[in-house]
Amino acid sequence: MTKTYPKASRPSLDDVSCSIEKGEFVFFIGPSGSGKSTIIKLLLHEVTPNKGRVIVNGKDVTSMRSWKRPHFRRSIGCVFQDFRLLPNRTAYENVAFALEVIGKTKAVARRVVPEVLELVGLGGKEHRYPHELSGGEQQRVAVARAFVNRPLILLADEPTGNLDPDTSIEIMRLLDRINRTGTTVVMVTHDSNIVNQMRRRVVEIESGRIVRDQARGVYG
């Protein structure tokens, strides 16, 4: 599969092929601009490849019409480096918002949201606003929001990029716990510490090509 952005001199991803099994935990590593984040965008159907196909949850995303995208995205959770929380809503409201905008009732939210906040270790802090929470806690809220709809896949784009090492480890434990519930976790990072500690599958990308694909790998 190849993806070239308009105006780019070389493809962001050049003839890349990779398959991830259900329930796997995969790191995509590589230097900035190597094309890691493009993978996330492709999986989210934010961009489409120029050549080849992207298949997610058994569905060919490449040929998916854009009006089907919202429904498709409900099966994918997403976490980013910058958390992307709504500043004027509490932790509870941020998570509930994700449910309510896809048509879940307030009653469902009242039942599910405290549960998932408890799961990410934020019990008792439901009614804090993002600015009243530490970076690690904010990322926990983001993880809760990504996971509350019980997605099949959790995509994490440098989730520890803004966190100190200790907090990063805690977030990784959380992602690991989520992975153990059967959720596939795809994480893009260049945090070598974390990759080395986790000992999971590592796919290394350089200049748009896969240069290494190793089970239980290290950053190298």
Partner 1 sequence: MRVKYVLSEVLVGLWRNVTMTVAMIITMAVSLTMLGASGLMYRQVDNMKDRYYENIEVSIFLTTEVTQQERDDLGAKLKGDPLVKEVIYENKEQAYERFKEMYQDAPDLVSAVKPDQLPESFRLRLVDPEQYKQIFDKYTGSAGIEEIVDQRRLLDKIFNILGAVQNIALVAAMVMAIAALLLVANTIQVAAYSKRREVAVMKLVGASNWFIQAPFVLEAVVAGLIGALIGFGALSLAKVFLFDGSLRDLTELLTPVGWSDVLIMLPLMAGAGALVSAITAWVTLRFYLRV
Distance in Å, CB of 182 to partner 1, minimum: 20
Judged by beta carbon, residue 105 or residue 196, the one nearer partner 1 is: 105
Phi, psi dihedral angles at 204 (to 5 degrees) = -100, 135
- The length of the chain is 220
Judged by beta carbon, residue 69 or residue 180, the one nearer partner 1 is: 69
Candidates 6, 87, 124, 131; binder of partner 1 (CB under 8 A) is 87
DSSP codes joined into one string, 112-146: HHHHHHHHTT-TT-TT--GGGS-HHHHHHHHHHHH
Distance in Å, CB of 139 to partner 1, minimum: 15
Candidates 23, 31, 70, 220; binder of partner 1 (CB under 8 A) is 70
Judged by beta carbon, residue 15 or residue 82, the one nearer partner 1 is: 82
Q: Is 105 exposed, middle or buried (0-12, 13-18, 19+ CB in 10 A)?
A: exposed
Is 84 near partner 1 (CB under 8 A)? yes
Is 110 near partner 1 (CB under 8 A)? no
Span near partner 1 by CB under 8 A; candidates 29-37, 72-80, 163-171, 210-218: 72-80
Is 39 near partner 1 (CB under 8 A)? no
Judged by beta carbon, residue 88 or residue 214, the one nearer partner 1 is: 88
CB 120 within 8 A of CB 138: no
Is 145 near partner 1 (CB under 8 A)? yes
Is 111 near partner 1 (CB under 8 A)? no
Is 41 near partner 1 (CB under 8 A)? no
CB 203 within 8 A of CB 28: yes
CB atoms within 10 A of CB 44: 19
DSSP codes joined into one string, 48-85: --SBS--EETTEESTT--GGGHHHHHTTEEEEETT---
Judged by beta carbon, residue 19 or residue 67, the one nearer partner 1 is: 67
Is 177 near partner 1 (CB under 8 A)? no
For residue 161, give the DSSP letter: T
